[in-house]
Amino acid sequence: MPYEPVQGRLHYIFEKYGISPLGDITISFCSMANEIFSFDTEEGKLYLKNCLKNDSPSRIALEIAFSEHLQENGMPCPELVSAKNGDKVVYYNGFQFLLSKAFDGYTPHWNDTLEPWIVRETMRGLGRFHQAAASFSTQHDSDRIKSFEFERQSAWLDDLQAELTEQSDSEPNAGMLQLIPKLRHLIESVRPHVAEGLARGCQVQMIHGDFHCFNVFYKDEQMVGCCDFDFIRRDLRLFDLWWCTRSMLDDVYFPLKWGAERVRDRQFQPDPDEIQPIINAAIRECIEFYRQCAELSDTELSFLPLMPKLLILNNMQFFDPNSSEEERADHVTVISQQLRKIEAHSERLKTAVDQMLSGVLKTEDQATS
């Protein structure tokens, strides 16, 4: 009986690695960016990743070199397994596969109710990650667009606009076309601040690009490692700091205040007067935990309120004219909401950072312990 496509693919790859799975093979539902299979072998549990995001030989080579660097510099991550020929990558029908050993720890699931200690360990973990990543050779970098490369961002918008103009018959494409002028305006609004010192006063190094508690391993309420290097690049480490802190707000601080179910409802609109004290507490606690493992000057911290705008310019690049209509529509909705709320978000963040830097942040009820 001939193999089904996925069976034939796995049979070929397992032969290249010289492994024999025991029992059933599971595909991970939580891994939306890549296709990940988990299975048991006589040597232990293994994970096979079809690298759909790091989809070029140069990106794969960077991921391998970077993960090995982290291992050697005090930041544990899943150990890669070599194929029988010694290569880390196995190629099949245009796809690239990496095999790694199971890590001694667990990662939370998206719908988990997170305990307050997650904040402490995640932010300390980010500090440890940045310390380990800072010494990665400057000869290595990703081809991904950096958060402050405005000329490349503008060129990307030019290409997208040309493509969407030819395919504007669909509602999502037409919606994205209407957002492009707003995204160009966002670039021009933030460009002067970068010219005034952001790139000079802030540390540029290899960053994770998606560091949050769902990409971190924990054991006995301690952070023990990290994973998922699809978006690594040489960029502002403040990008990681805001992305991680924002995740803590969305996944820990806000659910503690209003409940996870209400927070996950896109129609939920909290009282603006209640939001600021929570952001104040989150910024203070997250930065203090981060500084326990990595140095961060007040000068660099003062630029953090620019990160929400740079985050939109980064996330806009996930819009793909060739993806499904439903996915494109979802991206348009998210970008529209972010653009509509960006000034309020940035102002709240600036208020929290300014108060922390001035040393007059009032004592608030601790949102975490």
- In this structure, are residues 265 and 295 in contact, taking their beta carbons and an 8 Å threshold? no
Q: Compute how many other C-beta atoms are within 10 angstroms of the C-beta atom of residue 23.
A: 8
pLDDT of residue 7: 82
Name every residue whose Cβ is closer than 8 Å to that of residue 364 and which is 6 or more positions away in sequence. 277, 280, 281
CATH of the domain at 240: 3.90.1200.10
Name every residue whose Cβ is closer than 8 Å to that of residue 187 and which is 6 or more positions away in sequence. 150, 153, 154, 313
Residue ending a domain, among 48, 77, 101, is 101
- Shared domain for 64 and 127, answered yes or no, is no
- The amino acid occupying position 314 is N
pLDDT of residue 355: 94
pLDDT of residue 362: 46
pLDDT of residue 32: 56
Residues of the chain with pLDDT under 70: 1-4, 29-33, 196, 199, 360-369
- Shared domain for 179 and 59, answered yes or no, is no
- Shared domain for 197 and 273, answered yes or no, is yes
- In this structure, are residues 78 and 331 in contact, taking their beta carbons and an 8 Å threshold? no
The structure's pTM equals 0.92
Residue 32 lies in a domain: yes
Query: Which token pair is 261?
Result: 């179910």
pLDDT of residue 199: 64
- Shared domain for 235 and 312, answered yes or no, is yes
Give the helix/strand (H/E) hosting 12.
helix 5-17
> How confident is the model over 244-275, as pLDDT tens digits?
999 999 999 999 999 988 988 878 888 888 99
Name every residue whose Cβ is closer than 8 Å to that of residue 25 and which is 6 or more positions away in sequence. 10, 37, 38, 39
- Shared domain for 84 and 133, answered yes or no, is no
Residue 109 lies in a domain: no
> How confident is the model over 315-367, as pLDDT tens digits?
999 999 988 899 999 999 999 999 999 999 999 999 999 999 997 444 444 44
In terms of phi and psi (left: phi > 0; alpha: psi -120 to 50; beta: otherwise), the region of 23 is left
| Structural domain range at position 333 | 117-358
C-alpha to C-alpha distances, 50 to 33, 59, 69, 92, nearest whole angstrom: 10, 13, 22, 10
Residue 294 lies in a domain: yes
pLDDT of residue 29: 59
Measuring CA to CA, which residue among 35, 136, 38, 145 is closest to residue 95? 35
Number of domains in the chain: 2
Name every residue whose Cβ is closer than 8 Å to that of residue 175 and which is 6 or more positions away in sequence. 329, 332, 336
- Shared domain for 217 and 347, answered yes or no, is yes
- Shared domain for 205 and 335, answered yes or no, is yes
Residue 106 lies in a domain: no
> How confident is the model over 293-320, as pLDDT tens digits?
999 999 999 999 999 999 999 999 999 9
- Shared domain for 68 and 147, answered yes or no, is no
